[in-house]
Every structure is written in C-alpha cells, then in structure tokens.
Structure 1
Amino acid sequence: MKLSILVAALPIPVIFFRTKPSEKGLLPLGAEMSDEEIAAAEKKSGHSLSEVNIAVGWKVLRKHAGFWLLVSGFLFVGVINGAVSVNMVSNMTSVNNNGTEVVTGGHSVVWAGHVMSLYMGVVLVAKVALGWIFDRFGITGGVLVGSCSCLLACIFLCFPTTSWEPILAAACFGVGTCTATIGPSIMISREYGRRDVGKLTGIAVSATALGGIIGAIVSGVAFDATLSFALTWIIGAVCSVLMAVSLIASYAMSGKLVARCVAEGAPRIDAEGNIIEE
C-alpha cells in the first residue's frame, strides 16, 4: 500500500515542482517594485526592505558563526512549538499516567476544543500580521514580537486551572508559532541574500523540526518526573529568551559579514540569486 501511494504521488512534484519563479514566467516577490517605490516604502517603515544583492551563499555561511546562531534560534523556536503544540490540550484537561488520571487544568475536552479553535483562528491572522510586522518594524521588531508572544504563552500556560490564562496562552502562541514558518525565509533573504536560499532556508526549517522533536520528548520526560507541565513551560520560557537573543545577535553579525564580502569583491546577484556576469 505504501509503495503504491509513493508511485502514485511521486510524479506530481516531479512534474510541477519549480525552484525559481522564472521557470513559470513569473518574477520574484517584490521584483516588480521600482527603486523609487522601494525607497518610499523604506522611508515609511524606517527600515531597509532591500535584500542583500551580492553572493554570500552556503560556502561562506557554513563557516560563519552568525548563520549557525540563526539556526540555533530556530531550533529554540522548534522546542517551544513541540512542547506547546502536543501538550496544550492536556494542560487544560487531564492526563492518564499509567492508569492514573492526573488532573492538570480540570477543564472539559469540549472547552479545550473551543480554545484550540481560537488558537487556529489566531494563526490564520498572525501569519499575515507577523509578515507585516517584519516589513514595518524590521527583523528586530518581528523577532521581538514572536519571542515575546512565546514567552507570554509559556507564562499563561503555567495557570491551566483558570478561565482566562489558557485562552490568553492560545492567542499568544498563535502569534509566536508563526515565527517558525515565515521567519526563516524572511530573515535569511534579508540578511544574506538569495544565493543558495533554498539550502539555507532548508537548514533553518530542519532545525525547527528537530527542535519540535526535542521539545515533545523533553516535555514528556518532564511531566513523567513531576506529574505537572510547569517545568515544561519554564523550559519554554527560557527558550523564548534564547530564541530572541540568538536571532537578534545573528542579524547584527550578518551585516559585518556582508560588508566583508563586499570589500572582498563578491559578485552581484539578481532577484533569484543568480550571479550577474559583469
């Protein structure tokens, strides 16, 4: 059965998958804006919206501490996501631990379902809103909103027996979790340009996935040891701070690397990351 599904599904991405907009007769997002329009948007936001237009790429970044600091930041995001997403409902209701019911929040499953519906609704709005925040307030502003939202979510999750804290936790986590989905592509393209952007983004997203596995395992071990999710949320709060520090520090370090590459005569790239022959 699994082999037949693979045989049936594999041709679909092979036929339709493309790596560059030009392969479908399209332009990269933002490429249609003139220099004047970009300058006006930057003046309005107060931050640079331009991506790096020189070739940095994987060969340089694999030896750059700032890039691995960025990857570490998304690893922390993943730990938070893994811990919260798999335990949010159990935190509001109860857990069956080796045949013994441990009451954690004491709320009904139906009530917890309503809270999770709110969470999913916030995610739908936050994916767009957080992208706007990155554009309006820059990378530092976007990172601070995402990390502070995760931090607040972990704090509110420490009070599962109340009525409002689980709701506030769901709303905050709905914003913070979006950092893992829209953050890698935005930060990498603006910090290092689009040279090897697929590989670089893939590494950051993989770090997030690895963090999710770690978060799920650690939260389970912590609960078994304490019969409470409190330790898990404390770990999540610490990861929220580490996430902010790592991502903001990596952003500061990227500027120095790009300046060095410019001084060394790195070639220019177009909007798709291709080297421009001069």
Structure 2
Amino acid sequence: MPKRKGLFYGWWIVLAGLLLITITVPFTSALVSLYMIPITEEFNIPRSAFTLTTTIIAVCGIILSPIVGKMVQKYNVKMILSIGIIVFSLSYMSYGIAQSIFHLYISAAFLGVSFAFCGNLTTQIIIVNWFKKSRGLAMSIAISGIGLGGFIMSPIIANLITNFGWRQTYFIMGLVILIIGLPIALLIMKKTPEEAGLKPYGADEVEDQSLNTKAETEIDITPAEAKKKPFFYIYMIGIFTLGLITTGSLQQINPYVSDMHGMAYAATIVSIYSLLGIFGKLILGWLSDKLGVIKSGTLGYLAISVAFILLLFGQNKPILIIMAIFFALGNAVASVSIPLYASHIFGTNNAGVMMGITNSAFQVGMALGGVLTGAVYDLMGSYTWAWIGLTVIALLSMACISLSYTISRKKYSSEVKESAKLYTERVN
C-alpha cells in the first residue's frame, strides 16, 4: 500500500475525539454543579436531590458500556455517534423545560443513555484502532478534552446563567453541542484506518518485528476466554479500586481544604490541579509510549499516592500546592491509562468489548468512591483515615493491574514461542 503524504489522518481523528469529549464529558460531570443553586432554589429541593441526576447518568454508563463496546466494534460508528449526539443535545436542552425534579431525572436518563454512545468510550475505542505507535500520546490528547471542556465552558455557562437564566442556558449549550458534534461525527470520524485506505499509525514497524518478538499490540484474548482466567478478575479489582480513589478524592478535596483554609483557597487548589491535569494527561500519555503502559501507570499511581499522603499535612498551605501538582499527574491514570490497560492486556482485536467491560467496573468504583470517603469523614469526624485508606487502595489497584498484565504477558509469550516452534518444524 503506497504511503500518503501529509499529516496522518489518525491525528484528525484525535482532534475530532478531543472536541467530542470537550462537548460531552464535562456536561455530565464537572459543569453540572453550576446549575445546582438556581435549580434547587427554584424547585425548593435539597442539593442531594439534584445531584441524583449525575448518579442516574453513571448508572446508565455502568449498564450500557459493555453493549456500547460491542456495537462500536460491529456497527457503523458514524451512525452510532450521530444518533448519540442528536439525542444527547436534545436531552440536555430538555433540562430547560423541566417543571419538577422528576422531569430532570427523566432527562438525565436520556442523557446518560446517549452519553454512553457518544462520550469518551467510543472515542477511545476508535483511537485504539487507529494507533499502534504513539497510542498513549494520541489517547492523552483526546482525553485532555475533559479538563479543557471544564476550563473553557465553566465561565461561559456561569455568565449565561447570570444573564439569561438556567433554562435558556440549557437550550443554548445543547445547541452548541449539536452544531459542533454532528458534523464531526458525520464528516471526520472513521472507525478504522482501513476505511480511509490506510494502516494504523506505526503498523509497518510492528509488522517488521520477528515472530519471536513479544509485541504487546498483537496479543489476542477473547472476552469469553478472559473470563475463565484469574488474571481477568484481578484486573477488574484493579479497575474498580481505581474508580474508588478517583471520586473518593475528587469529591472530597474541596470540602477538606475549605474546612481548614476557606472556600477561596480550596477553589485555588482545585483550579491548580484541574489546569495542570491537562498537562498531566499529556505527560502520562507520552510516558506510556516511551516507558510502556505499566511503568508509566506505576509512576501515576505513585504520584497520586504521594498526593494522598501530602493531604495528611493539609494544614500547611504550601504543601497543598505541592499536593495539587502530584495529584494532577496521578489522577491522569484514571483517564489516560485505563483504555491503554485494556488494549495491552487483552489485545486490540477485542478492544471495544473489553474497554466497555472495563468502563463498567470503573464507573461502579466511581459511584461508590465519594460516598465511602464521605462516610469515613462522618464516622471519624476527619479525613485522616480517608486519605490513608485511599493511599492503600491506590497501591492495591497498582498491584492488581501490574499482576494481571504480567500473567497476560507470560501466557502470550508461551503461545508465541510455541507457534514459532511449530512453524519452524513445518518449514524444516
């Protein structure tokens, strides 16, 4: 196949994925809180009733992620993304006509279902198909849309709510999502490089390796086979616990710092690790390509463990700033490394299905993390044991992922060597 001149089309896929994540993921998570006060005041409901909308979205993701993985792998991705974005934008607009909290719950259910199909999972699966080389960098660029979306959209939404009200803001932002997202889905996104007459980025380098070379990207373990192996369940524990530490920290750092230093300083800390988090994702993605997904992930785990330990000394303001730096790099494991773990441990042939299963386990952990950390605070009257517990859980998650990877590699290596031996015997 002749080589095409110019920029490899896969990088346009990455840019498209960055934009899709920017206009979807933050609207189901970080930006939700901006609407909390005006909605709860108008409906005269507790804040916990409003935050249940995010729980509904998360439950949809838990249930649908494995199904999405199969469908993206099997069906036309343009159709999946297009329908997903249309329903997502209309569902977001429908918040603006809600007359009660129950109407918001219905909108959240539709938003959660559509988000499962047009959110970050679909983008991650597509990027895995397009890249064998520089996959970590490509993934980290796209995933940085999570922080970028929050950073750009937060002041815009806040100003719109102030000037036009929360109902009109939902309509305006829903229209923005549709105008940006639908052309991307229809005109740019392609599921595989073969659809564009190309090979995955770096495929020629992989093909040049000898049969005896342990090429990480060529491992092939089917979901049915994986579920019969102990390392699969070790892996699932690692992913679940990663979800625990993600929301267990993100949802509680702000109130922890606020209790000691006030809301203004807490907001400063959150801003620091949110902004640095964009660069943290890019750094971790680059390290994944240079050092391998396990070594880079280990550095990320250690960084977030250090951040939890530093939180124990949160009375000291400068220490919290250092904590924010470590947290920005360590928290990137939850977004950048997870899809890389799935494709490296189980292979790219079944990446869609395995990434869907992975995402479900991760979201179950996320659903419980903040609740458990808050419960520790309610029981103990402080966050001390919460930070200690999260440190231990982070190291446990790191150990589970590393162990499952090692077992997977040993199994693969033995199969490759046996195949090479049989091939040699036939030739001779």
TM-score by length of 1: 0.76
Q: What displacement does 1:34 show?
A: 6.7
CA distance, structure 1, for counterparts of residue 398 and residue 247 of structure 2: 18
How far is the alpha carbon of 1:22 from its aligned partner? 2.9
Match of 2:403 among 238, 249, 254: 249
User: Matched residues in 2 for 1:110 and 1:21: separation?
Assistant: 48
Match of 1:166 in 2: 320
* 1:199 alignment partner in structure 2: 353
Question: Are the aligned partners of 1:180 and 1:205 in contact in 2 as well (CA < 8 Å)?
Answer: no
2:339 equivalent among 161, 180, 185: 185
- TM-superposed CA distance for 1:182, in Å, is 1.4
What are the within-5 Å matches in structure 2 for residues 109-124 of structure 1?
Answer: 109-124=263-278
Q: CA deviation at 1:153?
A: 1.0
- The structure with the largest helix share of the pair is 2
Question: Which amino acid in the other structure matches residue 68 of structure 1?
Answer: Y
Change in Cα spacing, 1:214 to 1:29, as seen in structure 2 (3 Å) is: farther
Q: Which moves more between the two structures, 110-119 or 241-250?
A: 110-119
Cα gap change, 1:35/1:20 in structure 2, threshold over 3 Å: closer, same or farther? closer
Matching residue's letter, 2:228: K
Aligned to 1:31: 203
Contact kept in structure 2, 1:134 and 1:141, CA below 8 Å? yes
Partner of 2:226: 61
**1:118-153 Cα deviation digits (max 9, x unpaired):** 101221111111122222222332122011112111
Aligned to 1:272: none
| Seq. identity, % | 23
Q: 2:243 aligns with which of 78, 102, 120?
A: 78
Which stretch has the larger CA shift, 237-246 or 201-210?
Answer: 201-210
* Letter of the 1:55 counterpart: D
Q: In the alignment, does 2:193 pair up with 1:21? A: yes
| Structure 1 consecutive aligned stretches of length 4 or more whose deviation exceeds 6 Å | none
Match among 271, 282, 286 for residue 128 of structure 1: 282
2-side partners of 1:54 and 1:228: how far apart? 46
TM-superposed deviation, 1:195: 1.4
Corresponding residue for residue 208 of structure 1: 362
- Residue matched to 1:275: none
Alpha-carbon spacing, 1:29–1:120, altered in 2? closer, same or farther (3 Å): farther
The two structures have a TM-score, normalised by structure 2, of: 0.51
| 1:220 matches 2:220 | no
Shift of 1:14: 7.8
Q: Quote the Cα distance in structure 2 between the aligned partners of 1:149 and 1:161.
A: 20
**1:56–1:261 CA contact under 8 A, matched in 2:** no
Change (3 A) 1:117 1:258: same
Displacement, 1:82?
0.8
Distance across 1 between alignment mates of 2:351 and 2:339: 8
Aligned match of 1:147: 301
Confirm or deny: 8 A CA contact 2:300 2:333 kept in the other structure. Answer: yes
**1:160 CA displacement:** 1.9
Mapping for residues 33-52 of structure 1, pairs under 5 Å? 33=205, 50-52=215-217
| Map of 1:274 onto structure 2 | none
Aligned length: 245
Partner AA of 2:376 in structure 1: A
Distance 1:90 1:24 in 2: 49
User: Kindly tell me: are residues 49 and 28 of structure 1, through their superposed partners in 2, closer, same or farther at Cα, counting changes over 3 Å?
Assistant: farther
Which runs of no fewer than 5 residues in structure 1 stay unpaired? 40-47, 95-104, 266-278
Name stretches of at least 5 consecutive residues in structure 2 with no aligned partner: 1-89, 95-109, 115-174, 420-428
Per mean C-alpha deviation after superposition, the further-off stretch among 256-265 and 192-201 is 256-265
Task: State how far apart, in whole Å, the 2-side matches of 1:163 and 1:3 are.
Answer: 39
SS of residue in 1 equivalent to 2:252? helix
Instruction: Give the superposition deviation at 1:27.
Output: 3.8
Q: Give the RMSD, CA atoms, in angstroms.
A: 3.1
In 1, distance between residues paired with 2:206 and 2:361? 35
1:200/1:131 CA distance change after superposition, 3 Å: same
* Superimposed CA distance per residue, residues 73-106 of structure 1 (whole angstroms, 9 cap, x where no aligned partner): 1211111111110111111112xxxxxxxxxx2x
Report the counterpart of residue 93 of structure 1 in structure 2: 258
More divergent stretch after superposition (252-261 vs 143-152): 252-261
Structure of higher RCO (CA pairs closer than 8 Å, 6+ residues apart): 1
The question of whether the paired residues in 1 share the 8 Å contact of 2:298 and 2:398 is answered with yes
